[in-house]
Amino acid sequence: MLGGKNILLGITGGIAAYKTTFLVRLLIKAGANVKVILTDSASSFVSPLTLATLSKNPVLSTFINEDEGATDWNNHVELGLWADMMLIAPATANTLSKMANGTCDNLLLASYLSAKCPVFFAPAMDLDMYQHPSSKSSFEKLRSFGNIMIPATSGELASGLHGEGRMAEPEDIVSFIKKYLSEGLPLSGKKVMITAGPTYEAIDPVRFIGNHASGLMGYELAKTAANLGAEVILVSGPTHIGLNHDLVEIKKVVSAEEMYDCAHAYYKHMNIVICAAAVADYRPKTVADQKIKKKDSDLSLELVKTKDILLSLGEDKQKQYLVGFALETENEMENAKAKLKKKNLDAIVLNSLNDKGAGFGHSTNKITFIDKNYAINSFELKSKAAVAEDIFAEILKRYYA
């Protein structure tokens, strides 16, 4: 959810500022780009050098930078426009009051007033300060501006008192933001399963039958579904591709049998299922326990059909919106429509190896989307990331119809 997001982190002068080193590290680990603004008093609690090292950006604190006689300035307007979101943590009573009343006496407050993005604030103060009417008034006023409050928790406070006012832990702050970002997205609260990649069918401990599928199309579909707010199960055959997304859980399999078992284990809980994997149609009837030695004579393998995963899911379909893929080389449209009907699908994605840049081994694909009513929408050659977006746009039109 935070991958590629620009986050402007404002740190004010409270003891909880020491936790921001962990917060910055978590945001960076989640894929965000982080810039930090410190108030003067905050630098007494946390080192600018530490934050600069963790964020990989200079830490800002003043409007004017003076370095060996050369003077330049930190543009608060550019900072506000750069940010996809702003987070103020810890947010002291003093800073919150200034934010609520439009006071602009430091770089952090000027950047806040310039921000066009969602602003999150995580209060941190002692028990009596947190409960004071003026603090509550600041909370209410800031929320009325559209700012999002990350509530403080209860615990031991710097004064020695025990109660409400402790800044939320860094892990909880990150989780709060991720949850907020996912709410209202088209697939928020939905569960999606994607199958991806090839399957390898063992001949012996060394050799296997496989195909040239990279898994890229399935992985892009999983990423797109997650970016739309879905909780995604990605059942992946062997591939070098990686995916790090908070809403994607990857289940690694090797053979068609393993993919069949894994897909069925999660199927009943799913809302949308897309079978994009290039599953082997046949496997060796017997698998040698030891490596088969090379002989002068020919080697014959007896093959048997694997279980048809897509067909079996179509037979068990209840509430699921089920989509298959058809990779064809001849009679493409007729074969795709026949597969759509036979396997009880809601839609099928047709791609042809006759189209240059489509199919296995490419970063691009050219598809035709066909739904169960035989409504057809064809697309030009695009990156597989863009194709994944097109596929989900077609699905969403019909899923919520």
211 tagged catalytic:
yes
CA 390 to chain centre: 18
- Does residue 138 contact residue 105 with C-beta atoms inside 8 Å? no
Q: Which two tokens stand for residue 29?
A: 């680990």
Strand partners, 275: 195, 324
- Closest CA relative to residue 34, chosen from 1, 57, 50, 10: 57
C-alpha distances in angstroms, 107 versus 59, 76, 104, 114, 295?
Answer: 12, 7, 8, 10, 77
Phi and psi, residue 162, nearest 5°: -125, 120
Strand partners, 357: none
Q: Cβ of 335: how many Cβ atoms within 10 Å?
A: 17
* Phi-psi region at 392: left, alpha or beta (left = phi > 0; alpha = psi -120 to 50): alpha
The one catalytic residue in 74, 75, 211, 335 is 211
Q: Cβ of 3: how many Cβ atoms within 10 Å?
A: 14
Supply the residues annotated as catalytic: 211
